[in-house]
Amino acid sequence: MPELAKENTKEGLEAFIRYWYEQLNYSYESGETGTLRSLSAPTCTLCSSLRDGIEDGWNEGRWVAGAGIRSAAVEIEFNSESSSQIAIIQVIQAPIEIRNADGSLYQDPVPATNSASRAALEFADERWVLTDLGLIR
């Protein structure tokens, strides 16, 4: 994690958000979700759902192809008097394919997306944690 992402500042929060999405991307690529889990609160339902989907995609010899994800834009109205912050994030994701051990498709591919998410974050114990994540429709 970048040192900046550990700071309770607007720049630190943005760095943390970008790092969180880098870890999500890594999880899709590798099936490893431990770091992502440590960056998200147990109360974040969508965070848990994303992790569960990734873990399922990598189960029984399967693997995830594509699925590259990045946070293209981050908007934050930082309130320095609060430990809780809200951010709006543009998230771009490539199509997702889950492949069986033999290389065949496990299910129909999930199309590429370009969407916005609302993230709630908390700075506590000298670190940021994603406490809630939801799609903006």
Q: Give per-residue pLDDT as tens, 84-135.
A: 999 999 999 999 999 999 999 999 999 999 999 999 999 999 999 999 999 9
128 Cβ contact partners less than 8 Å away, ≥ 6 residues apart = 5, 6, 8, 12, 13, 16, 39, 121, 122
pLDDT at 4 over 90: yes
102 Cβ contact partners less than 8 Å away, ≥ 6 residues apart = none
CA 20 to chain centre: 5
Q: pLDDT tens digits, residue range 7-24? A: 999 999 999 999 999 999
pLDDT at 137 over 90: no
3-state helix, strand, coil in the chain (%, to 5): 30, 35, 30
What band does 64 get if pLDDT is binned at 50, 70 and 90? very high
Token representation of residue 44: 């974040």
pTM: 0.95
Per-residue model confidence (pLDDT) at position 20 = 97
Token representation of residue 136: 């903006």
